Structures are given as structure tokens and as C-alpha cells.
Amino acid sequence: MAKTEVILTHNIVGLGGESDQVKVAAGYARNFLFPKGLAIPLNAANKRRLEALRQRRAEREAHELNSMTELAKSLSKLVCVITVKTGEDGKMFGTVTSGMIADQLKTQFDLSLDKRKIHLDSPIRTLGEHEVEMRLHQDVTGKLKLRVESSTPLPEPPAAPPAEAKKEEPKTEKRGRRPEGKGEKPEEAAGKGRPARAEKAAPEAKGRPADKAGRPEKGGKS
């Protein structure tokens, strides 16, 4: 395939930036680059434009550096939420990829970002908080906080049964009273109470004869 040399007038990812001199397929240059104004043929006349192209490239790269630096600061303050389907055990179906993160950044924050700038060591497979590296520029990297949530409500753990109230033991004696006989000798407990009944009856028995004996009869002589 025939090759031709061109001077790029715009930055083309994977090919080069303004003022770069590259070799491309002749058909690609003729049918795409030249009609789109992305490159010009390499010849003596066009070489005079190289300085202007280099100046424009320097300005573009400085602007990109500033923009990506500000973007990194903004991303560090964001929390991107991604909702996934999970099973009853909480395990995810599938993984979270850089493409999914780029889509959510666009949906949630209206932020368009090439998914190739989102660097994952491996696809995310677990729920919870994650930190994702953002390679925004060759001189700028940043961090994005990512929270992966389940769209399936997780089952709640069974509630612990309420603690049973302790049953009170029946009380055998009342407070403040001492059962009879407690702390006494057997002979004292056995004899206690009987003399009291005898004492109550004694005054009655003794009082009546005393009255008859000591009271003079009516009409008698002294």
C-alpha cells in the first residue's frame, strides 16, 4: 500500500498533534484527512506553516492541562453512584466497567469523559465504596469516589427473640414478721400461749368467791 507524508493541522488521537509530520496511507490522506482539513501535504510551501501550527499546538496543550487539572479537582468532590442487580446473597450479577462509569458521569453530572481515561486495575465485582483512578492527562491524574448499590432489597436479618422475664420465686414469709417459734428453744415454743389462757380465766374464777365471802349479807347482824 502506497504511503504519503502529511503535516497534521489538528490533534488526531493515535496519530499525532498539530505540526507533526507523519506517514499515512495515500488513500486515507486523500479520502479523509485532506477533505476534513485535518492534514496538508508535506511540501516546501506547507512547511512554512509549521511554526504557526506549533504555536497553536502549544496553546491547545496548555489549555488542556489547565482544564484537566480543574476537572481532577472537581472529580475528587463527586460521588458517582452505580446501581446493579444482585442475588439474595448480595453478590453482583456481572461487573462494573469503565464504560458504565463514563455513562453515569454523563447521566448524573452531565460530564462527558472518554472511558479510556478511567483506569480500573480489574472490573469491580463487589458492592460498597470504591476509589477509581482517573488518568485525565499525561501530567494529570485524579481520583473518583464510586459507590456501588444494589437494586434488589437485601433480606433483613431475623430479629433476636425478646429476653424472657425472670419468674419471681414465691415468697414463703412476709417481711417484718418472724414466724412463731423461730429462734426459740423447743420447750419455750411448746409452752408458749397456754399460760395466757389460764391467766385470763383465773381472775374470773377467783373474783366471784371473793365477793361472796367478803360482802355482808343484807339484814345480818354485825
The tens digit of pLDDT for each residue in 118-133 reads: 999 888 999 999 999 9
Amino acid type, 107:
T
* CA dist list (Å): 168 to 162, 171, 176: 18, 9, 20
Residue 40, domain extent: 3-70
φ and ψ at 60, to 5 degrees?
-65, -45
The answer to the question of residue 48 being in a domain is yes
Q: Do residue 102 and residue 121 come from a single domain?
A: yes
pLDDT tens digits for 74-83? 999 999 999 9
* pLDDT value at residue 205: 43
CA–CA gap between residue 64 and residue 89 (Å, rounded): 45
| Same domain, residue pair 86 and 31 | no
- Does the pLDDT at position 98 exceed 50? yes
Which among 70, 99, 117 is the end of a domain? 70
From 79-93, 169-183, 194-208, the region with the lowest mean pLDDT: 194-208
The reported pLDDT for the residue numbered 178 is 55
What does the pLDDT read at residue 207? 46
In the chain, the number of structural domains is 2
Residue 15, domain CATH: 3.40.5.10
- pLDDT band with cut points at 50, 70 and 90 for residue 23: very high
Query: Is the same domain home to 52 and 100?
Result: no
User: Is residue 119 situated within a structural domain?
Assistant: yes
d(CA 218, CA 212): 12
On whether the CB atoms of residues 23 and 33 are closer than 8 A, the answer is no
Domain boundary among 70, 89, 122: 70
My answer on whether 85 and 144 are in the same domain is yes
Q: Does residue 64 share a domain with residue 106?
A: no
CATH of the domain at 104: 3.10.430.100
Q: 132-180, pLDDT tens digit by residue?
A: 999 999 899 999 999 999 987 655 666 666 665 555 555 555 555 555 5
Q: Where are the alpha helices (DSSP H) in the chain?
A: 26-28, 34-36, 44-47, 50-75, 98-109, 186-191, 194-214
Q: From 34, 52, 70, give the residue that closes a domain.
A: 70
Residues 99 and 39 in one domain: no
Q: In angstroms, rounded to a whole number, what is the distance separating the alpha carbons of residues 24 and 20?
A: 12
| Cell 424472657 belongs to residue | 164
Asked if the structure places residue 221 within a domain, the reply is no
